[in-house]
Structure 1
Amino acid sequence: MKRTGPLAKAVTALAVSALALTGCGGGDSAAADGDVELRFAWWGSDTRHQQTQKIIDAFEEENPGITVTGEYGDWSGYWDKLATQTASSDAPDVIQMEEKYIREYADNGALLDLSDVDVSEIDEGVVESGRTEEGLFGVATGVNIMALVANPALFEEAGVELPDDSTWTWQDYSDVAAQITENSDAYGASGPNEPAGFQIWLRQQGKEMTTPEGELGFEVADAAEYLELQKQLIEDGALPPASVLTEDQSPGPDQSLTGTNGAAMGMWWTNQLSALNAASGNDLLPLRFPSTDGAEGGAQLFQKSAMFMSGSARTEHPEEVKKFIDFMVNSEEAGLLNLADRGLPANQSVREAVLPELDEADTMAAEFIEEVQPELGDPLPIPPLGFSSLQEILYRYELDVAFDRASPQEAAERMISEMESAIS
């Protein structure tokens, strides 16, 4: 079957280079002259870059003889660059990793087993999100939850009251958003943040996007119903027209409709609230997702590892890599520098140290996470190999429906076929 993820073009090279992993990776833990240089790659905002450099400086001061060189950029180009580096045996020593890519890299032998990194103060479910059958390949930096972020200033401008997010339905969401679109210069809501939007909706139907066995957990009828919902939201005026949606699929906070006050509601991870506030100049508010039946706790939100620290299987300095990852995740010093930018800290002691230091937005996000804990559904299954391509497939077929290039039923049939090929 054809693969479509960012590592697809690198699979052959990885398969060949895997033969050399034993000889090239895990070599001498220090350079001959006693100095070690690690390369650390991450994506993020300018704020994250500045915070991360301060963390690197603190680590280097505590660990003389180890130098860490940063390689950073934005989300859009990060994964293509990492795939190319990995295929050419030039991956960074330390890699900021995302959940939907972790199995893709781990199963191709590209990641270092971190089973001996201390995770004793991290919730077991969060730890397991970075583990495959072969070992622990990512240590979570923090946790977050997908929320519907609302802009109270735009609600007030439109003369629309904020909803009771504990009991509202998708129809309520449509009605509220359509009123804002009609009564203001902003759209009521921006498009779905995928695949989390689809995952949450499926969980409200008692299903998952993928199963623990690595198969799709939904059928054509489910996908068609979801695509029909998105089409109806556009027709009702709750969402922007297709021409606007196509420009707002997975932008950064600064360029998004939410960040530019172009939409009164948007789907975002809780750790992005501070950046959205800064971009919009307004104090935004995280809300629960609407639910299918309006029952309390019916949103079926899930707690997600915000991101992981991983290591390259080909690093010549595995012990130093683990030491740096341990510092990033378990050090209060690093936590106080990073605050909630990489999620509410996963390490409980670090979290307790950080909470009093958070700004208003991050404090609100942390309180939201705590508030919805009793309502969360089961943890998500670890994404299967090829999961990283499902986002692009889903976005593409949503646009096909939005532009009337295909009916929801036609798009659902083609979408499922592509998704099955991607993860088979």
Structure 2
Amino acid sequence: MILRALKSRTPKIAAVAAALALALSGCGGGAQPDAGGPVTLRFTWWGSDVRHKMTQELIDAFEAKNPNIKIEGEYGDWSGYWDKLATQVASQQAPDIIQMDLQYLGEYSKRGALLDLKEVDLSKFDKAAADAGKTPDGQFAVTAGMNALVVLANPSLVSASGVTLPGDQSWTWKDYGQTAADITAKGKAGTYGSGPVTGDASFNLWLRQHGKSLFTSDGKLGFDEADAKGFFEFQEDLRDAKSVPPASILTEEASAPLDQTGMATNKFALGWMWSNQLGALTKASGQALEIKRPPSTDGNAKSAQQYYKASQFWSASSRTKHPKEAQQFIDFLANSVEAGEIGLADRGIPGNSEVRAAITPKLSAVDAATASFIDDIADEVGDSPAVPPAGASPAGEILTRFSSDVHFGRLSPEEAAKKAIEELKSGLS
């Protein structure tokens, strides 16, 4: 799913990045507030019909407490969201409050399009969750919900193979690959030990465990060719051991909808996913999928450099005429138990620890398991990764594409590493 999601976003990311390069060059400085009277704020988000209805409940609850502030909702699906937002920003008609994604946060914040959210209280947030929306220049986003990178296990397929999974607090990358290979060899025909382990999320975890990072806080690559070569050699090992499907199947997986991926259709015993995908995949597969920690280099979960990722963020336009009220609404969304009880886990597990504790008894069994996992790894989580800089948006697609070239045998790990770094650096420059 990680590979699939990133590939499906790539054309949109490239188009929006190009638009921002032109549209946002004159942004920043903010707008002068209107004097007195009722305040109207425009609020934009993407999501399903269920999310739209739930978000309107959040708006109603806030307006009931703040009768002088009216929130006008603007929403749609993911496919058209970013083109529309870029156009609005370019024409100086940006919404006051923006549902933001990590892939675009660096682009918008670097070009001065976002407000520094100094007045939003983050004292009850886990540090990693608070820092997820922070750049060296300011707090330009607040975590709307937390994710963690996980390995989901299909107990039915694992049991059918007769293979015993290593403990997830002590397994290594080598253990993972060998376990997946054993499941492929001993499991049902047409099933595989693991789905793809590609893209920027798994690569970033790999780098963190080797003392590096995908990006640095000053907007550069945080790794070199030797680091990338090691990761692509791991891809080669997975291919040769048949830990993962043939390259042709991995290519199909890249563009499959979530409910048609190998984890959803009971083809993969193990899959690298985000924790908030547990519910959808459990429903699609009909299996009681289990959350496992990703492997580490040394077999010690406490040094695995796991990290929290914001599933989405709340941001505000730097040109809003009402910065105080915009931050007041974001503070309500982030810190109100009432808002938490309305939204539950729709946008991920709340970053505010008190809100998280308050809503956990109200969650479905699957969402409660996700919340429990988020709490369980709290003392294993490292610093929040640097926000991807402007020009970094296509990184996931680039890494996935060169991993695919290795799986097809078109490039050696060394060649893939060299070409990937050249392309990544070109984007950042």
- Fold match (TM-score > 0.5): yes
User: 3-state SS of the aligned residue for 1:195?
Assistant: helix
Asked if residue 305 in structure 1 is aligned to residue 310 in structure 2, the reply is: yes
Quote the offset at 1:332 in angstroms. 0.9
- 8 Å Cα contact 2:128-2:307 kept in structure 1: no
More displaced 10-residue stretch of structure 1: 62-71 or 233-242: 62-71
1:169 pairs with one of 127, 149, 172? 172
1:41 pairs with one of 42, 45, 64? 45
Q: Which amino acid aligns with 2:304?
A: A
Quote the offset at 1:4 in angstroms. 5.1
- 8 Å Cα contact 1:41-1:92 kept in structure 2: no
Quote the offset at 1:383 in angstroms. 3.0
2:20 pairs with one of 10, 30, 41? 10
Q: In structure 1, what is the equivalent of residue 71 of structure 2?
A: 67
**RMSD of the TM alignment (CA)?**
2.6
Q: Which amino acid aligns with 1:222?
A: D
Task: State the identity %.
Answer: 45
Quote the offset at 1:71 in angstroms. 0.9
Q: Distance in 1 between matches of 2:359 and 2:380?
A: 24
2:297 pairs with one of 282, 288, 292? 292
Q: In structure 1, what is the equivalent of residue 270 of structure 2?
A: 265
| Alignment size in residue pairs | 414
What's the TM-score once normalised by structure 1's chain length? 0.88
Quote the offset at 1:371 in angstroms. 2.1
Q: Distance in 1 between matches of 2:423 and 2:17?
A: 17
Change (3 A) 1:295 1:85: same
Change (3 A) 1:104 1:123: same
Q: Which amino acid aligns with 2:34?
A: D
Q: Which amino acid aligns with 1:244?
A: I
- 8 Å Cα contact 1:26-1:313 kept in structure 2: no
Q: Distance in 2 between matches of 1:176 and 1:78?
A: 41
Asked if residue 28 in structure 1 is aligned to residue 28 in structure 2, the reply is: no
Quote the offset at 1:155 in angstroms. 1.4
Q: Distance in 1 between matches of 2:161 and 2:315?
A: 46
More displaced 10-residue stretch of structure 1: 374-383 or 338-347: 374-383
Q: How does 1:58-207 map to 2 (within 5 A)?
A: 58-64=61-67, 66-74=70-78, 77-182=80-185, 183-184=187-188, 185-192=190-197, 194-207=199-212
Change (3 A) 1:172 1:131: closer
User: 3-state SS of the aligned residue for 2:16?
Assistant: coil
- 8 Å Cα contact 1:5-1:388 kept in structure 2: no
Q: Distance in 2 between matches of 1:26 and 1:126?
A: 31
1:403 pairs with one of 378, 402, 408? 408
Q: Which amino acid aligns with 2:23?
A: A
Quote the offset at 1:358 in angstroms. 1.7
Q: Distance in 2 between matches of 1:256 and 1:330?
A: 35
Q: Distance in 1 between matches of 2:202 and 2:340?
A: 29
Q: Which amino acid aligns with 1:7?
A: A
Change (3 A) 1:187 1:84: farther
User: 3-state SS of the aligned residue for 1:10?
Assistant: helix
What's the TM-score once normalised by structure 2's chain length? 0.87
Q: In structure 2, what is the equivalent of residue 57 of structure 1?
A: 60
- 8 Å Cα contact 2:349-2:371 kept in structure 1: yes
Q: Distance in 2 between matches of 1:420 and 1:116?
A: 35
Asked if residue 340 in structure 1 is aligned to residue 345 in structure 2, the reply is: yes
- 8 Å Cα contact 2:23-2:86 kept in structure 1: no
- The superposition leaves residues 63-93 of structure 1 with CA deviations (integer Å, 9 ceiling, x where unpaired) of 445133131313x554444334433434333
Q: Which amino acid aligns with 1:52?
A: T
2:386 pairs with one of 377, 381, 386? 381
